[in-house]
Amino acid sequence: MVRLQKFLAAAGVASRRKAEELIRQGKVTVNGRRAVLGTKVQPHKDIVKVEGKVVAPEEKVYLILYKPRGVVTTRRDPQGRQTVMDLIGNIGAVVHPVGRLDYDTEGLLLLTNDGDLTYKLTHPRFEIDKTYQVLVKGQPTEEDLESIRQGLLLEDGWTAPARVSLLKGGRGKSWLEMTIHEGRNRQVRRMWAKLGYPVLKLRRTKFAFLTLGRLKPGDYRHLTRTEVKKLQALVR
């Protein structure tokens, strides 16, 4: 059950405050009865009308995008650079990124118009795992990997324990895979920089259980209903 004004706002009828006004003015009915402030509804079950017109509940949209390098993770860029929205185009819903990837980072980005799920997936309490492949300059020692595993002191405090393993080393560069559950600004780059290994390439390959699969840079797909349910279960 959701509050009627929230339902109306999500459906794009009006802001929450304006929706409250409509309810107070007696312009909203639920299943044929005039609603009052405090009325709750079941979207997809109750029939809500504003001034006699049926209001369709907002459809929730969930996408994963393979964000390429050189694209900003915002809805609009003041500098006019390409944004993740340009890649998605018009999908009939206003989606927002769940967290962000740096301009130079590529990989898996989840986007949705489900504000509640976005809030929870990015809340530190739920410790959602994010996995990255990282190309660094140099060859980290086992001791360095251990520091990543234990936690490092950055300007904004200690990092939580992380998982890391060497994928491929050689010629002064190394590919590593690491999994963190925090989402601090430029965290992966800052962790490696702190140990003296500049990050040359950064790719997010996993968000919770979601992987890039066959997506190519610039591609996106809608999540399946099962995937959405699984994500919701992670933050219940």
Q: Catalytic site residues?
A: 102
Q: What angle do CA 143, 145, 149 make, to 5 degrees?
A: 115
Taking CB under 6 A as the binding criterion, the range among 27-35, 55-63, 166-174, 186-194 that sits at the site for ligand URA is 186-194
CB closer to ligand URA out of 39 and 159 = 159
- Asked if residue 102 binds ligand URA (CB under 6 A), the reply is yes
Residue 101 near ligand URA by CB under 6 A: yes
Is position 105 an interface residue for ligand URA (rule: CB under 6 A)? yes
* Closest to 165 (Cα-Cα) out of 151, 152, 179: 179
With CA atoms as reference, report the closest residue to 109 among 223, 199, 14, 6: 223
Least separation in angstroms between residue 222's CB and ligand URA is 23
152 binds ligand URA (CB under 6 A): no
- Candidates 85, 145, 202, 212; binder of ligand URA (CB under 6 A) is 202
Query: Would you count residue 39 as binding ligand URA (CB under 6 A)?
Result: no
Q: In what order do the strands lie in the sheet with 33-34?
A: 33-34, 28-30, 48-50, 53-54
Q: Does 187 bind ligand URA (CB under 6 A)?
A: yes
Where does the chain have alpha helices with state H?
4-10, 16-24, 84-88, 115-122, 142-150, 187-194, 225-234
Contact residues for ligand URA, defined by CB under 6 A? 101-102, 105, 186-189, 202
